[in-house]
Amino acid sequence: MAAMLKLGVPIAIVQCLSLVMLVVANNAMSRLGGETALAVICIVNAISMLLIFPIVGIAQGAQALWGYNYGAGKLDRVRSLTRLTLAWTSLLAILFTAALELLARQLVAAFNPRDAALVALGGRGIAVFILGFFTAGLQYTASMFFMSVGKAAQGGALYIARNIFTIAGMALLPRAMGLDGVFWTGPISDLLSTILAAILLAYGLKNLKTGTAVAGAVIATEGAIGDAPLLEAEMEPVA
């Protein structure tokens, strides 16, 4: 029961924060940009979900290997797997970021090519909001690594912090920057979350000790606003 609560409580908090985040984001966009701005948020959300799946998929694929090797006391393999996972997820994130920056307007136009205002606002919004997407590899590798080796507190803290950064940005930045404040919340939240993830992951790998791991499949559904994950997990102890 304790192990279930240890994993489940952070997930429950993330779910609640995700709801708050969407409410804050929708209110800000509706107030500052009306229906067009709300449509932009939906497009950003759809594109981000599509692109995050391969990154999350690689990290998910590493979870069972992390758990097995950690439980077997093969810490060198755990560290090597973490570096490999980080390399591939980061490569994808960088490529996706470059593609989005180059093709932002074209991607928005694919949803509604006849709405010039939507294409203009959406193209600018995606280009700004997605600036920090290249860090997604580090953020998800770190979060899922901690979940896989039984350190749910660290993994959950990364998800929760990301949502809190986004909520705060959505609530405060539009007061000074208007609609641009909503868009700039993305890269600012990514920057803060990446710094936290890098510190925790470096410390966690350096001080890794043999223990009982928790291995399982975590299903993450990504949202553009704050990259809020919706997680469900079935976990088994690995001897």
pLDDT for 239: 37
pLDDT at 209: 78
Predicted TM-score (pTM) of this structure: 0.79
Cα–Cα nearest to 27, from 18, 36, 38, 17: 38
Q: What count of other Cβ atoms lies within 10 Å of the Cβ of residue 172?
A: 12
Number of residues that this document lists for the chain: 239
Whether 128 contacts 178, CB under 8 Å: no
CA dist., res. 89 & res. 215, Å (int): 20
Can you give the pLDDT of all 239 residues of the chain as single tens digits? 665 666 666 667 777 777 787 777 777 777 877 888 888 888 888 888 888 999 999 999 999 999 999 988 899 999 999 999 999 999 999 999 999 999 999 999 998 888 898 999 889 989 999 999 999 999 999 999 998 888 888 888 888 898 899 889 888 998 888 888 889 999 999 999 999 999 999 999 988 876 545 444 343 434 444 443 333 333 333 33
Angstrom distances, CA of residue 43 to CA of 9, 111, 141, 168, 221:
31, 8, 26, 22, 16
Contact 170, 24 (CB under 8 A): yes
CA pair distance 231, 162, nearest whole angstrom? 15
Provide the pLDDT for residue 211. 56
Neighbours of 51 (CB within 10 A): 21
Burial group, residue 198, by CB count within 10 angstroms (0-12, 13-18, 19+): middle
